[in-house]
Structure 1
Amino acid sequence: MTEIRDEAVLKALAHPLRRRLLDTLRVDGPSMPSALARATGQAVANVSHHLRVLADAGLIQEAPELARNRKEHWWRMNDPRLSWNPAHFPQEAADAAEAIGFQRQIDLVNTWLGSPASRAEPWVTSAFATDSWLRLSPEELAGLGEELQELIGRYRDRPERDDRVPVFVLGRGFPARP
């Protein structure tokens, strides 16, 4: 897992389109700017610019071995697992990155809830939403987060099969009041 500690890298990550590009590379693997433009509904020139920003930040790299000719430019993630600790950054930068990440999660949930698949078998009975109010110390909350990461890790990197599709799993834990 790549731990982000550089503010410039965090700022590169804290952009809605760049988050979508990283998600697409994470799920679909290496890709060309034209395919990423189609996937995100953006112009190829805009996607290429944002890919360069991500590359300059060290989050992605070119994959020239995938090109069939000199005109093709392929990109891949360096590490699909990224983490960062808000305490390592100025509050404004950490807040902006958190807000972009959370908005991305909200957008994905809204897209799912508005899709016909959310009301059809087999996904209507497979998808889940959960929340709970717990009484935890900071250490217990950290432990819960570690256990959730371990659980998710058991399902990560499974080989592709016809019945497996990309699934977004959202879990957050934080002190709050109802």
Structure 2
Amino acid sequence: MSPANRRTADSSVIAAIHHPLRRRLVELLGVEGPATVGRLADATGELPGNISHHLKVLATAGVIEEAPELAKNRRERWWRRAKASYSWSLADAKGDPAAELVALSAEEANVAHHLVKLNQWRERQSEASEQWLRAAFSTDSWLKLTPARLEELAGRIDALIQEYVADPSADPDAANVFVFAHGVPARP
């Protein structure tokens, strides 16, 4: 039940995405929409030359693309997130030590990134309205599943999230919300 725009990432795409600044650029383009190097430099506090370098890496990997229709002149270059999202599994890299290392490193980076977002929220909770405090959630459950059922669950969760991605709230009180879920074999 993966979305039609989901592609399996090879190790070069995974490596491109999981540099901390490149990940932030992909997120900025995905959440805030197309931008120029200058706008991205302002948003990140990085130098425009550094931003340009990282955008080229992401473009080569197919993660972002130019948006020439937004340019007001030949010198102006706009970038947007490509319409595809990516998934990968360590199983895709099995037998290729370099690809395995990239996939493992990416998994570690993902977990760290998720924890950073969660901890940022925890640090800001005292400033949040009661509505946001009540709306924010955390959930966990122990399930007994086969690999096929776990894959089905992942697809259903992803499909539900994609419904909200495709229909963002226009309400002025809406805010960007980071949602993540993990389902892994574990022991109590």
User: TM-score if structure 1 supplies the norm length?
Assistant: 0.90
Which of 44, 49, 55 is the aligned partner of 2:48?
44
| One-letter amino acid of the counterpart of residue 104, structure 1 | H
Structure 1 counterpart of 2:140? 131
Which of 6, 16, 21 is the aligned partner of 1:17?
21
* 1:102-161 superposed Cα distances (whole Å, 9 cap, x missing partner): 222111111111114664222001111111222222122111111111221221221451
Percent sequence identity is 43
Matches of 1:130 and 1:42 in 2, distance apart? 36
Matches of 2:59 and 2:126 in 1, distance apart? 35
* 1:60-117 superposed Cα distances (whole Å, 9 cap, x missing partner): 1111211123332210111252222321123211101111222221111111111146
| One-letter amino acid of the counterpart of residue 75, structure 1 | W
Contact 1:4 1:10 in 2 (8 A): no
Which of 32, 38, 45 is the aligned partner of 1:34?
38
| One-letter amino acid of the counterpart of residue 143, structure 1 | E
Partner SS, residue 124 of structure 1: helix
Which of 88, 100, 105 is the aligned partner of 1:84?
88
Runs of 4 or more, structure 1, over 6 Å off, are: none
* Number of equivalences: 178
Contact 2:125 2:133 in 1 (8 A): no
Matches of 1:159 and 1:177 in 2, distance apart? 37
Query: Which moved further from structure 2: 53-62 or 82-91?
Result: 82-91
User: TM-score if structure 2 supplies the norm length?
Assistant: 0.86
Partner SS, residue 156 of structure 1: helix
Matches of 1:134 and 1:151 in 2, distance apart? 19
| One-letter amino acid of the counterpart of residue 48, structure 1 | S
* 1:4-24 superposed Cα distances (whole Å, 9 cap, x missing partner): 343212211121111111111
Structure 1 counterpart of 2:162? 153
Matches of 1:75 and 1:124 in 2, distance apart? 35
Partner SS, residue 166 of structure 2: coil
User: What is the 5 A alignment of 1:154-169?
Assistant: 154-161=163-170, 162-169=172-179
* 1:23-59 superposed Cα distances (whole Å, 9 cap, x missing partner): 1111111111122122223222211111010011111
Partner SS, residue 7 of structure 2: strand
Instruction: Name structure 1 gaps, 5 residues minimum.
Output: none
Matches of 2:119 and 2:181 in 1, distance apart? 16
Query: Which moved further from structure 2: 21-30 or 96-105?
Result: 96-105
Partner SS, residue 153 of structure 1: helix
